[in-house]
Structure 1
Amino acid sequence: MATPHSPALHPSAALDRWRRIEALLHAWLEQRRRLLVLLCSIQGLEGFQRPGSIQNQVREFCQLLMDYISAGHFEIYQELVREARLGAAHRGGTINLASRILHQLDPSTEEALAFNEDFDTDDHCLSQLEVLPERLTRLTEMLEERFALEDQLILSVHSRDTAERARVLNF
Structure 2
Amino acid sequence: MLRELEKAEQKWGGANKAIDQWLNNRRNLLVHYCRIAGLPPYENGNSLPSVDNVRSFCEMLVDYVSEGHFEVYNQVVSACEKHGQTSKAVAQQLLPKINDTTDAALDFNDKYTEAADDKVLMQLDSDLSRLGDAMETRFQLEDQLLEVLHTRHS
Greater relative CO (CA pairs within 8 A, separation 6+): 1
Alignment length (residue pairs): 136
Deviation at 1:126, TM superposition (A): 2.9
- Looking at structure 1, the residues matched to 61 and 33 of structure 2 have their Cα atoms a distance apart, in angstroms, of 10
Provide, for residues 54-77 of structure 1, a one-character-per-residue CA deviation record: whole Å limited to 9, x for no partner: 222211110000000000000100
Runs ≥4 residues deviating over 4 A: none
Q: Is 2:146 the counterpart of 1:146?
A: no
Cross-structure match for 1:133 = 125
Alignment of structure 1 residues 7-156 onto 2, 5 Å: 22-44=16-38, 45-48=44-47, 50=48, 53-88=49-84, 92-123=85-116, 126-156=118-148
Residues 21 and 86 of structure 1: is their aligned pair in 2 closer, same or farther, counting only changes over 3 Å?
farther
What TM-score comes out, normalization by structure 2 length?
A: 0.82
The amino acid that maps onto 1:35 is: L
Structure 2: which 5+ runs fail to align?
A: 1-13, 39-43
Q: CA deviation at 1:120?
A: 1.4
| Structure 1 residues 107 and 127, CA gap change in structure 2 (3 angstroms) | farther
**Contact map agreement 1:80 1:158 (CA 8 A) in 2:** no
Letter in 1 for 2:46: G
Q: Percent identity?
A: 34
| Aligned residue in 1 for 2:9 | none
TM-score calculated relative to the size of structure 1: 0.74
